[in-house]
């Protein structure tokens, strides 16, 4: 195996992660529809897979974390300037 083949990811299949509903002739992602076809409600053949961590997490918590880090940085800056002068 060459070094380039080890570094580059393998190409994925276009249907990887998707399920096909034969009744509606519709491709869908069971991870985002709780394992059911969004048109007819029939269960996907493979069932539902779990969502990635960032898709499961509420995005507002990222904002709260960013504000907390910003507050800590501002406290550190104020204390540095206070004790320096």
pLDDT tens-digit series, residues 26-81: 888 887 787 888 888 888 776 656 667 767 778 888 899 999 999 999 999 999 99
User: Within this chain, do residues 34 and 60 fall inside the same structural domain, yes or no?
Assistant: no
Confidence (pTM): 0.43
Name the E strands within the chain.
19-21, 26-28
Q: Domain limits at 72?
A: 55-85
pLDDT of residue 70: 98
Residues near 48 by Cβ (< 8 Å), separated by ≥ 6?
30, 31, 33, 34, 35, 36
Residue 24 pLDDT: 84
Number of domains, the chain: 2
In-domain check, residue 33: yes
Residues 33 and 16 both lie in one domain:
yes
The size of the chain, in residues, is 85
34 in a structural domain: yes
Residue 16 has pLDDT above 80, yes or no: no
């Amino acid at each position: 195996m060459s070094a380039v083949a080890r570094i580059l990811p393998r190409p994925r299949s276009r249907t990887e992660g998707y399920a096909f509903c034969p009744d509606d002739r519709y491709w869908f992602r069971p991870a985002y529809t709780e394992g059911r076809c969004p048109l007819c409600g029939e269960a996907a053949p493979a069932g539902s897979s779990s969502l990635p961590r960032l898709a499961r997490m509420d995005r507002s918590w990222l904002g709260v974390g960013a504000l907390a880090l910003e507050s800590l940085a501002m406290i550190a800056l104020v204390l540095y300037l206070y004790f320096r002068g």
